[in-house]
């Protein structure tokens, strides 16, 4: 019991630091003291505004009221991402959080659709997806679906700074102690474990377990413990971003936009009070000046600040838990925000730590399991991101031609091959992305399955046509009753 973990020190007060402190305190409650140190002088990365549906589980566990959350963080609803110009310039497709149609036992809906298409059905797959229909109509309200055919999974766009501030308030109410100051020295025990952090005014913060949320640098996990980094820039060569907020559009879209350019892509994230914008690009293909000119020319609304440049190296910390340090957030690695996965990676890292929590002392088996799961999670997301780049039909720039030639991981190659051969998709070991996500991006990027599952042949052409028409009608039905997205947000934030 001597090594029992009774006190946690969180280094960093960005989205990662405050999500970690808040969830650990909420779930582990009185058993653990938590202190967090952050430096206003150093600041946070200041981006990271689009999320995916599991964030709602985080908020629920935290006991967060949705109306208050929307008000405090200036959030909007996210139903999907629209990818423009990714396969070819001038065309787009959606990756929604929903699933098309209704699947049969052992046979996903898209096999029925593939067969119907061979018989002349011209309806595109997304017409059977409620998320898509709501996104296009700009409508939203949560649907209490009795049947999963009418599920409407959603996430949020929010102001990252306001979200961290909100979580700080909740954390401090629960007893998390915050220190303002710069960590200047880090002392280790003779065995190499971290003993304490020393701040610029001499204060010492000692702990049993340290959560490194210090951002890209990884002050503890890398600078002190040298955990190493798997560099994946040969798979995902974009290495810079330039971000700039702009005035909001009159109507707030309930989805993120990802607009491909000749050597990178632009995000547009609609919030209540502004749009978040940025360009992720490859420095081998654009200079910073070109990137900044491009994003400024594509804002469509007045910029609200100067462009801010960020550099990154895609990859992951080789050991995300080492000794008594767990790296969370940017300190644990970075995958570009194409599918808005970083905040989710923070959440899943903290949940994993809670599941493996070393209350009686850190044991290597728990550390190994944590690191195994993190590696798998990062690798699966990496593969999904590569898919967007690699499968393209763009011949208009060197960047996109290079992407077509990319040597891709075998895991992805196999997934693409089986889908191209017979339309099959399988979810690997807790992959964050369900079959419907892989389906939408594979089709959207231009992989056409040569065949479909024979179960789709169990229906006569007439029966199949009726089934599809019926499903389409069911999916359309809620639209007329749903409010506009802006009306929904206004109603929620005016709620007391």
Residues that bind ligand FAD (CB under 6 A): 12-17, 37-39, 42-45, 47-51, 160, 182-183, 213-215, 219, 241, 243, 278, 310, 312, 329-331, 337, 340, 342-343
Structure-block tokens of residue 473: 């009608």
Could you give the count of Cα atoms lying within 13 Å of 362 in the half-sphere of its Cβ?
18
Between 343 and 356, whose beta carbon lies closer to ligand FAD?
343
For residues 66 and 374, give the distance between their C-alpha atoms in angstroms, rounded to a whole number. Answer: 29
Among the listed residues 25, 78, 82, 475, the single catalytic one is: 78
For residues 437 and 435, give the distance between their C-alpha atoms in angstroms, rounded to a whole number. Answer: 5
Between 311 and 359, whose beta carbon lies closer to ligand FAD?
311
Helix 364-390 vs helix 435-445: angle between axes, to the nearest 10 degrees?
Answer: 30
For residues 214 and 410, give the distance between their C-alpha atoms in angstroms, rounded to a whole number. Answer: 33
Phi and psi dihedrals of 258, rounded to 5? -125, 110
Helix 66-73 vs helix 160-174: angle between axes, to the nearest 10 degrees?
Answer: 130
Least spacing, CB of residue 342 vs ligand FAD, in Å: 3
Least spacing, CB of residue 144 vs ligand FAD, in Å: 27
Structure-block tokens of residue 340: 């808005």
For residues 293 and 193, give the distance between their C-alpha atoms in angstroms, rounded to a whole number. Answer: 47
Among candidates 196, 266, 253, which has minimal Cα distance to 224? 196
Between 108 and 382, whose beta carbon lies closer to ligand FAD?
382
Least spacing, CB of residue 42 vs ligand FAD, in Å: 4
Least spacing, CB of residue 466 vs ligand FAD, in Å: 42
Between 166 and 419, whose beta carbon lies closer to ligand FAD?
166
Q: Which residues are annotated as a binding site for L-tryptophan?
A: 339
Q: State the maximum Cα–Cα separation within the chain, in Å, rounded to a whole number.
A: 79
- Asked whether the beta carbons of 220 and 194 are under 8 A apart, the reply is yes
Q: Which residues are annotated as a binding site?
A: 13-16, 78, 183, 330, 339, 343
Least spacing, CB of residue 41 vs ligand FAD, in Å: 8
Q: Give the count of beta carbons closer than 10 Å to the beta carbon of residue 401.
A: 12
Structure-block tokens of residue 480: 């007329």
Query: Which neighbouring-strand residues pair with 333?
Result: 316
For residues 45 and 310, give the distance between their C-alpha atoms in angstroms, rounded to a whole number. Answer: 8
Between 57 and 417, whose beta carbon lies closer to ligand FAD?
57
Query: Which neighbouring-strand residues pair with 206?
Result: 196
Least spacing, CB of residue 106 vs ligand FAD, in Å: 34
Query: Which neighbouring-strand residues pair with 268?
Result: 257, 277
Least spacing, CB of residue 257 vs ligand FAD, in Å: 12
Catalytic residue list contains 25: no
For residues 66 and 194, give the distance between their C-alpha atoms in angstroms, rounded to a whole number. Answer: 38
Tokens 């909001």, residue located: 248
* Secondary structure (3-state) at 177: strand
Structure-block tokens of residue 108: 């996903």
Among candidates 4, 84, 10, which has minimal Cα distance to 394? 84
Tokens 């547009």, residue located: 268
Between 82 and 415, whose beta carbon lies closer to ligand FAD?
82
Between 389 and 419, whose beta carbon lies closer to ligand FAD?
389
**Catalytic sites, residue numbers:** 78
């Amino acid at each position: 019991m001597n090594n029992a973990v009774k006190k946690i020190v969180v280094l960093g007060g960005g989205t990662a630091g405050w999500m970690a402190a808040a969830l650990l305190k909420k779930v582990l409650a009185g058993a653990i003291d938590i202190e967090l140190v952050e430096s206003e002088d150093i600041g946070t990365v200041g981006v990271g505004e689009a999320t995916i549906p599991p964030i709602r589980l985080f908020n629920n566990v935290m006991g967060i009221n949705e109306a208050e959350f929307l008000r405090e963080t200036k959030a909007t609803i996210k139903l999907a991402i629209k990818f423009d110009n990714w396969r070819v310039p001038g065309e787009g497709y959606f990756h929604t959080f929903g699933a098309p149609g209704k699947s049969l036992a052992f046979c996903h809906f898209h096999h029925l659709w593939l067969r119907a298409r061979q018989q002349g059905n011209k309806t595109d797959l997304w017409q059977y997806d409620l998320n898509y229909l709501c996104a296009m109509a700009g409508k939203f309200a949560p649907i209490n679906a009795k049947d999963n055919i009418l599920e409407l999974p959603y996430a949020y766009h929010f102001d990252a700074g306001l979200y961290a501030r909100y979580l700080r308030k909740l954390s401090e109410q629960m007893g998390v102690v915050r220190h303002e100051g710069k960590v200047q020295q880090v002392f280790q025990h003779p065995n190499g474990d971290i003993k304490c952090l020393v701040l610029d005014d001499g204060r010492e913060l000692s702990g049993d377990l340290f959560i490194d949320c210090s951002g890209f640098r990884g002050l503890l996990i890398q600078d002190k413990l040298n955990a190493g980094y798997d560099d994946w820039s040969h798979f995902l060569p974009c290495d810079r971003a330039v971000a700039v907020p702009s005035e909001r559009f009159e109507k707030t879209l309930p989805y993120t936009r990802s607009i491909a350019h000749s050597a990178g892509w632009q995000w547009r994230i609609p919030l209540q009070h502004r749009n978040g914008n940025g360009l992720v690009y490859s420095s081998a293909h654009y200079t910073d000046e070109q990137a900044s000119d491009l994003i400024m020319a594509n804002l469509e609304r007045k910029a609200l600040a100067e462009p801010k440049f960020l550099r990154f190296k895609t990859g992951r910390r080789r050991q995300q838990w080492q000794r008594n340090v767990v790296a969370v957030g940017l300190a644990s690695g970075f995958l570009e925000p194409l599918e808005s996965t970083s905040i989710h990676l923070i959440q899943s890292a903290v949940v994993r730590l809670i599941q493996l929590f070393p209350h009686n002392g850190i044991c290597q088996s728990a550390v190994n399991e944590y690191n195994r799961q993190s590696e798998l999670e990062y690798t699966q997301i990496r593969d999904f991101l590569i898919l967007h780049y690699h499968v393209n039909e763009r011949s208009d720039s060197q960047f996109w031609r290079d992407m077509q030639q990319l040597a891709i991981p075998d895991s992805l190659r196999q997934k693409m091959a089986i889908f191209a051969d017979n339309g099959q998709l399988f979810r690997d070991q807790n992959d964050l992305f369900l079959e419907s996500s892989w389906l939408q991006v594979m089709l959207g990027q231009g992989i056409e399955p040569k065949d479909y599952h024979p179960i789709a042949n169990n229906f006569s052409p007439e029966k199949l046509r009726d089934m599809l028409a019926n499903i389409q009608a069911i999916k359309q039905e809620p639209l007329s009753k749903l409010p506009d997205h802006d009306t929904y947000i206004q109603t929620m934030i005016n709620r007391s």
